[in-house]
Amino acid sequence: MTDAVRTPHPGLAESPFLAAARGEVPSHTPVWFMRQAGRSLPEYLKVREGIGMLESCMDADLVTEITLQPVRRYGVDAAIFFSDIVLPLKAVGVDLDIKPGVGPVVASPVRTMADVEAIPDLTDEHVPYISQAVRQLVAELGATPLIGFAGAPFTVASYLVEGGPSKEHARTKAMMFGAPDVWDALMRKIAGIAAAYLRIQAEAGASAVQLFDSWAGALTPADYRASVMPHSERVLAEAGELGVPRIHFGVGTSNLLGLMGEAGADVVGVDWRTPLEHAIPLVGDRAVQGNLDPTLVFAPTEVMTARAAEIIEAGRRAKGHIFNLGHGVIPSTDPGQLMALTEFVHGYQLR
């Protein structure tokens, strides 16, 4: 399909976000926010009125609008595609929903080899609205890069095996420890889906990808290395073949940062619990992303920006630094504070 061949916007060559991701020198410290598109924005709540989360994710025009909202409002250096880590599972036919205030809920949790085998692989035909939304976005965004994303195998497996959000991930880890053949099949299945989902987004024009392994912090380094890392590695390797920078993020991962980099990331996302000066030596020759405590936006602006300055200074010792929060924007966040934070990061003189 020749019209699928796209010419990247020439302005992307100067993108501070892409420069930092590649370890080149950006014109200013780039900034975007995990969960920047979503419940903290009144314009988001307005367009979502009466429309379910998954339904919204399957409407290319709505996805385009919601993804653009924070870019318009804050002038952040990257857009993150509005979707969810469980959307590709829904698209292949897994019976699940995203319940407001709860998160993803799976009707029949995956526990056996037969359950794993019943999950189809993801093809382009499952998600026409995704490629369409990415193409529309890339046209609208111009010189602002679009980040595509997928859930990493461990984090997605946790929703499938537990049947919903979990603190301990006990059933998931019990499968990992006690039924390694089922675990391996499940991880392969999800890795294939995640790799296809990233490929579809990159082929439609996304300039970078982020692999969210939000709950990997539940694992020891040895278990991560043996039972999880090879699968994330495969997803990142396939994304690497598409030529887009890859960000690898998890929460509570101070003991895993080295391995998460080694898994094939160009940028390692760091949560707020690990100071960047500790994280930077661990990630090796890679850029870092993060990591302001998301609750600092509830503090007075000057307290928030003083902490942001410390993070920017610490980030200078990294191969590259993309400013972000240490996890997603909390829904009750005042958008005015994110605006002040964006302006502060953009105005900060690196000297």
> Would you tell me which residues interact with ligand CP3 (CB under 6 A)?
34-39, 48, 53, 80, 82, 84-85, 98, 100-104, 149, 155, 212, 214, 328
Helix H or strand E encompassing 51: none
CA dist 341 and 140 (Å) reads: 24
Residue 50: count of CB within 10 angstroms of its CB: 5
Q: In this complex, which beta carbon is closest to ligand CP3, that of residue 201 or of residue 214?
A: 214
Which tokens go with 158?
Answer: 């946790």
Q: In this complex, which beta carbon is closest to ligand CP3, that of residue 2 or of residue 332?
A: 332
Q: Least distance to ligand CP3 from the beta carbon of 300, Å?
A: 25
How far from chain centre, in Å, is Cα 181? 28
Q: In this complex, which beta carbon is closest to ligand CP3, that of residue 20 or of residue 34?
A: 34
CA dist 227 and 154 (Å) reads: 9
**Which residues face 150 on adjacent strands?**
211
Q: In this complex, which beta carbon is closest to ligand CP3, that of residue 68 or of residue 176?
A: 68
Just list the catalytic residues.
35, 39, 48, 84, 159
Q: Least distance to ligand CP3 from the beta carbon of 35, Å?
A: 4
Residues 6 or more apart in contact with residue 277 via CB below 8 angstroms? 314, 317
Q: Least distance to ligand CP3 from the beta carbon of 338, Å?
A: 12
Q: Terminal CA-to-CA distance of the chain, rounded, Å?
A: 48
Q: Least distance to ligand CP3 from the beta carbon of 79, Å?
A: 9
Q: Least distance to ligand CP3 from the beta carbon of 5, Å?
A: 27
Per DSSP, the residues of 66-82 read: HHHHHHHHH--S-EE-S
Q: In this complex, which beta carbon is closest to ligand CP3, that of residue 61 or of residue 117?
A: 61
Residue 265 · residue 246 · CB < 8 Å: yes
